[in-house]
Chain A
């Protein structure tokens, strides 16, 4: 009898009118990969350093985490896209370089999903500290070091090391400071 209940519940879940509704909803709005990491990883554990695994390994790990964290398929894809962005160097990711000015702080913040984890101008995640007054409070050198070696001041920091050039780091420091 319990199997019957289970099958009925399964049938209602899969064929119910709600499913298309939610499937359509997700098509309209999926968070960025960084935002999904911010929203979901810390529910159970620290975010693991992105550089710990290769993209091929992440492609096997993410389906595992999809089930564990109840991520949707589209969210999983968004995370993979973010991981690829972080893992690829600026010279390799030529398609994005063409579209995004390489020395534009705002565009760099968007590309690397900084506000997925950090609040800035009142918007963004809470996994990391707010960026608004970081340069003023901690100094430009701290921000440079954080972007160069994210774990230098906290070995447990979940912040990934972005593939940024020295010029891009300066651009980001200026952008955060001017805001």
Chain B
């Protein structure tokens, strides 16, 4: 009899449990989302003397573990010129929402230096088919030598939002990561003293221009960690201005520093966008060794900037729909002096997919110039 009651109780409990399991899908809380973006591009380059179609697919995996923890990962799957499929881990990290305004991030994350790497690089967000001239990461090949070709790195970050009102905030991001390293088997370029004198009249000695590798890895060539951050003021929804800092020792002996400072601006109007960044870098490099003395350290200073303006013509003339006009100018100074104009017309098919027609003209002081034409179909999903 007792066994019968127990079985009956068990059956009742089982049915209740079954009901609860059935009821769970009614909850508004999800667990996993598959999102991302992709693009198809036709590009004709004078420098490469070629024209080609290319394609990328960039899935983003989002997991919500609970209210406090959130996991995100983005991979870029693309086809290279040899027909091989390349897969790159753009980021893979976990956020821990410590308080209402504080978030800790650990893993491989987009580096909060400026705005392009952290926020604007996805092709359905970027208003041109190319990275700005002062950057060079993200699989781009371009005539300009980038200042800080860094997209993401492995480490820990903390983010704090100082909330003054719904329209005014200060954003603070700090991070520690593995950092830059000396490029393996770098073909060091000896800076021509006369060329540099012609440019700036500085640098007394010929020295090897340091080749620094920014590729994120799960290892480090020294015990030093890169450190940096960004602080920004936002007067929403119209203005965001920020200042960034990055410093790391990049050689095995921890003698050579690379330090970068950046300023970024983002103006958002009802029918226009203006985005820009300025970056200056100081990179230590070894001068030629004397027979009896260790090589001295020379400091190589570079700087550059870009400014992009977008005129959303359809907001003024509704018959133009999702048409917008884009103009971008980028300039890098010293050691790899160059400037680039980009002009383009974009047409938004809907809020997440755009066709871009763009032309760029790059003028490199020492080296080959380039002109490119590109048509890119980008989509977010």
Bound pair: A and B?
Answer: yes
Residue B101 interfacial (CB < 8 Å): yes
> B237 touching A155 by the CB < 8 A rule?
no
Residue B125 interfacial (CB < 8 Å): yes
Task: For A84, give its contact among B28, B120, B321 (CB under 8 Å).
Answer: B28
- Which B residues are CB-close (under 8 A) to A70? 159, 161, 169, 171, 234
> B119 touching A68 by the CB < 8 A rule?
yes
* Interfacial residues of chain B within 193-237, with CB under 8 A of chain A in the complex: 224-227, 229, 234, 236-237
> B351 touching A60 by the CB < 8 A rule?
no
> A47 touching B33 by the CB < 8 A rule?
no
Q: Mark A1-34, 1 if CB is under 8 A from B, else 0.
A: 0110110011001100011001101100111000
In the bound assembly, the distance between CA atoms of A160 and B70 in angstroms comes to: 27
Residue of B nearest to A30 (CB): B166
- Which A residues are CB-close (under 8 A) to B162? 18, 22
* Interfacial residues of chain B within 162-179, with CB under 8 A of chain A in the complex: 162-167, 169, 171-172, 174-176
Residue A126 interfacial (CB < 8 Å): yes
> B266 touching A43 by the CB < 8 A rule?
yes
Residue B14 interfacial (CB < 8 Å): no
In the bound assembly, the distance between CA atoms of A52 and B35 in angstroms comes to: 11
> B176 touching A6 by the CB < 8 A rule?
yes
> B100 touching A73 by the CB < 8 A rule?
yes
* Interfacial residues of chain B within 114-136, with CB under 8 A of chain A in the complex: 115, 118-120, 122, 124-125
- Which A residues are CB-close (under 8 A) to B268? 42-43
- Which B residues are CB-close (under 8 A) to A36? 166
- Which A residues are CB-close (under 8 A) to B348? 46, 155-156
> B166 touching A67 by the CB < 8 A rule?
no
> A156 touching B350 by the CB < 8 A rule?
yes
> A61 touching B321 by the CB < 8 A rule?
no
* Interfacial residues of chain B within 333-349, with CB under 8 A of chain A in the complex: 348-349
> A125 touching B237 by the CB < 8 A rule?
yes
- Which B residues are CB-close (under 8 A) to A52? 352
> B163 touching A25 by the CB < 8 A rule?
yes
B173 CB, min distance to chain A CBs, angstroms: 8
Residue A74 interfacial (CB < 8 Å): yes
In the bound assembly, the distance between CA atoms of A45 and B350 in angstroms comes to: 12
Task: For A158, give its contact among B98, B105, B351 (CB under 8 Å).
Answer: B351
Task: For B97, give its contact among A19, A68, A73 (CB under 8 Å).
Answer: A73
Given A31-B166, A55-B28, A153-B318 in contact, is the A63-B97 Cβ separation under 8 Å? Answer: yes
Residue of A nearest to B232 (CB): A70
> A67 touching B119 by the CB < 8 A rule?
no
> A9 touching B236 by the CB < 8 A rule?
no
- Which A residues are CB-close (under 8 A) to B83? none
Residue of A nearest to B119 (CB): A44
Given A64-B70, A72-B161, A154-B322 in contact, is the A19-B101 Cβ separation under 8 Å? Answer: yes
Residue A48 interfacial (CB < 8 Å): yes
Given A155-B321, A155-B349, A156-B321 in contact, is the A23-B166 Cβ separation under 8 Å? Answer: no
Residue A178 interfacial (CB < 8 Å): no
* Interfacial residues of chain A within 117-155, with CB under 8 A of chain B in the complex: 125-127, 129, 151, 153-155
In the bound assembly, the distance between CA atoms of A100 and B270 in angstroms comes to: 31
A73 CB, min distance to chain B CBs, angstroms: 4
> A23 touching B62 by the CB < 8 A rule?
no
In the bound assembly, the distance between CA atoms of A126 and B224 in angstroms comes to: 47
Task: For B351, give its contact among A40, A56, A157 (CB under 8 Å).
Answer: A157
> A57 touching B33 by the CB < 8 A rule?
yes
Given A40-B237, A155-B322 in contact, is the A6-B350 Cβ separation under 8 Å? Answer: no
- Which A residues are CB-close (under 8 A) to B247? 2
Residue of B nearest to A13 (CB): B160
> B102 touching A14 by the CB < 8 A rule?
yes
> B270 touching A13 by the CB < 8 A rule?
no
Task: For B176, give its contact among A3, A22, A43 (CB under 8 Å).
Answer: A3
In the bound assembly, the distance between CA atoms of A4 and B301 in angstroms comes to: 28
Residue A168 interfacial (CB < 8 Å): no
11 contacts between A and B (CB under 8 A): A3-B225, A13-B102, A19-B160, A25-B163, A26-B100, A39-B166, A39-B167, A43-B268, A56-B29, A63-B95, A155-B348
Partner-B contacts on A (CB < 8 A): 2-3, 5-6, 9-10, 13-14, 18-19, 22-23, 25-26, 29-31, 35-36, 38-40, 42-49, 52-61, 63-64, 66-68, 70-75, 84, 125-127, 129, 151, 153-158
Partner-A contacts on B (CB < 8 A): 27-33, 35, 60, 62-64, 70, 72, 95, 97-103, 105, 115, 118-120, 122, 124-125, 156, 158-167, 169, 171-172, 174-176, 224-227, 229, 234, 236-238, 240, 247, 266, 268-270, 314-315, 318, 321-322, 348-352, 380
